Amino acid sequence: MSTTNTAEDTVRHSFEARGPLHVDAQLRASSLHLTAAETDEVTVEVTPSKGFYLNADPMEVIVEYSANTLRIEVPESEGGGLKIGPIQLGSFTSHRYSITVRVPEHSSLKAHTGSGRITTTGVLEQASAKCGSGRISVEQAREVYARTGSGAITVGQADRLEANAGSGGIVVETVTEAQLTAGSGDIRVNSSPGHLQLKTGSGDIRLGNIAGAGALAGSGDIEVAHLSGNLNAKTGSGDVTVQCAVSGQIHSTAASGDITVGVPTGTAVLQDCSTVSGRLRSELQGTDAPAETEHQLELHARTVSGDIALRRAG
């Protein structure tokens, strides 16, 4: 192990690594950026946030490495305060730092911060992150568990994902299985070959190419670009739109929102649709039983005052 002082009040810790390890970071109000790379060295750099916090000493941050676990802890501090120019306003129970960590690929992370951010790049085995008002961004991990109060959650690639954002949004590029919940933020998933379970209060749910999902929105819209499996979609005042449904089953209900489903040529549809005061419209022509080579889609749609429409997908 070595500890050195570098430029700009940064303290650097380094350790020899023997393969993937576990990182446990308790950050209070500090931010963490972790990089997983091909390396046999673990490094931790601690830098005070400039221009805001008084009496910050990066040496107070606990950095320990033993039993294949890297522990980082920002302790409670007395006498710290917010500084704007020459004026000090109040005091805080901890200083704020920017902490940069570099570890071997396929390591695991467990991190908790109040108002800071948590960001990872590279490939991790597991990432578990919790923020109060900060953002969480994970580039790639086999398993991701993320929770924020008011910050956004962004995930590049994961096999399994559980995410909960209070008033922030959730954006996922590719995931196999996911359970995502947002209070007032939007949920967006670009691609998923597995099953998604999604819930938002007043935000929208927007999905790209997916194999199946259960989606619930209070007042927001639910939109799917391409569906090749089963979808259970329910919304109160929002619309449900499936641009292209190739096969599977769609069960959808909306109170005052509309339900629109696009069906490509070569897919036979079994329709079970009803509305209380809305309109039913279909661009599809009635056919006999589907041929063996055709894809089959079952559509079960219910609205109160919203319209239900089937159209030919382009």
Q: What is the pLDDT of residues 150-174, one digit of tens each?
A: 999 999 999 999 999 999 999 999 9
Nearest to 135 by CA among 123, 149, 121, 124: 149
- Between CA 170 and CA 31 the distance in angstroms is 19
What is the reported pLDDT for 287? 58
Q: What band does 88 get if pLDDT is binned at 50, 70 and 90?
A: very low
Name 138's bridge partners: 120, 155
Q: Residue 45: what pLDDT? A: 97
Residue 258, domain member (yes or no): no
Using the predicted structure, report yes or no on whether residue 4 has a pLDDT greater than 90. Answer: no
Element (H, E) at 63: strand 62-66
17 occurs within a structural domain:
yes
Cβ count near 216 (within 10 Å)? 18
* Burial category of 314 from C-beta neighbours within 10 Å (exposed 0-12, middle 13-18, buried 19 and up): exposed
Note the pTM of the prediction, 2 decimals.
0.91
Q: Report if residue 54 sits inside a domain.
A: yes
Q: Indicate whether 170 belongs to any domain.
A: no
pLDDT of residue 284: 87
Q: Which domain holds residue 64?
A: 1-116
Question: Alpha-carbon distance 32 to 45, whole Å?
Answer: 10
Terminal Cα distance for the chain, rounded: 62
User: 12 in a domain, yes or no?
Assistant: yes
Query: For 13-48, what is each residue's pLDDT tens digit?
Result: 999 998 999 999 999 999 999 999 999 999 999 999
Residues 111-136 have pLDDT tens digits of 999 999 999 999 999 999 999 999 99
Residue 81 covered by a domain: yes
- Domain assignment of residue 158, yes or no: no
Q: Is 222 in contact with 204 (CB distance < 8 Å)?
A: yes
Specify the number of domains making up the chain. Answer: 1
Inside any domain, residue 2: yes
Mean pLDDT of 215-239: 97
